[in-house]
Amino acid sequence: MASLIPCPHCGVRPKEEFAIRGDASLVRPDPESSDETWNDYVHIRANPRGRYREHWQHVAGCRRWLVVERDTFTHEVFSVTDGSVRAWEIGR
């Protein structure tokens, strides 16, 4: 996982070209949502041991934000997709 990332736009590239932001399963709440929902979005993390979606940006490549789905224990990568595709999927 963290040696090589298969960027859907640029192909397999070394980790050094990417920047990592964090949990990609979070959805930015509606502005009217409760304080708790907002706090959960900004501060609370499921932090699973196992399958996990994470935002990586290919900063030294296509500059797209990607969703890397991988295992946090074995570091196996299951898929890498464009972040906006994912954003549309979850109905944003």
* Helices assigned H by DSSP within 1-92: 35-43, 83-89
Question: Contact, 23 vs 54, CB < 8 A?
Answer: yes
Alpha-carbon span 32 to 60, nearest angstrom: 37
Answer for which of 9, 11, 42, 79 binds other proteins (CB under 8 A) is 42
Range 49-88, binding other proteins (CB under 8 A) = 49, 52, 54-55, 57, 59, 63-65, 72-75, 77, 82-84, 86-88
CA angle 74, 75, 78 (to 5 degrees): 105
One-letter amino acid for residue 54 of the chain: E
Binding-site residue total for other proteins (CB under 8 A)?
Answer: 51
Q: Which of 8, 10, 40, 81 binds other proteins (CB under 8 A)?
A: 40
Q: Which residues bind other proteins (CB under 8 A)?
A: 1-4, 14-16, 19-24, 28-29, 31, 33, 35-36, 38-49, 52, 54-55, 57, 59, 63-65, 72-75, 77, 82-84, 86-88, 92
